[in-house]
Amino acid sequence: MYAIIKTGGKQYRVAEGEFLKVETIDAEEGAEVVLNEVLLVSTEEGLKVGTPLVEGASVTATVTHHGRHDKVRIFKFRRRKHSMKSAGHRQNYTELKITKIQA
């Protein structure tokens, strides 16, 4: 059984027991989070596809921890102009453990 959810402007395919890194969610570590934006649910009976959301479907997850991704290096260079610019970025994330998919 799996589901496709939408959170933080992105879509993810999730199954029970999986760990998932998503955009930062305002919840404490160990707290349960209910994700209601479910786009598709796969069960033994078949697929339930929402228009755009599946009614009555939800995904329950537990916040395992908050963290930051690896640094992404940004380097801009203009040839023959003696111009270089370097920067970096680390995106925050929240790691979730999917505990239950309710269709």
The rounded average pLDDT for each run of 10 residues, N- to C-terminus, in the chain (103 residues) is: 95 96 96 96 92 94 97 97 97 97 91
pLDDT score recorded for residue 100: 95
Overall domain count for the chain: 1
CA distances from 48 to 2, 3, 10, 43, 53 (A): 11, 9, 20, 8, 10
pLDDT score recorded for residue 103: 85
- Which structural domain range is residue 25 located in? 2-102
pLDDT score recorded for residue 15: 96
pLDDT score recorded for residue 62: 98
* Residues 6 or more apart in contact with residue 60 via CB below 8 angstroms: 32, 33, 34, 35, 98, 99, 100, 101, 102
* Count of CA atoms in the C-beta half-sphere (13 A) of 30: 0
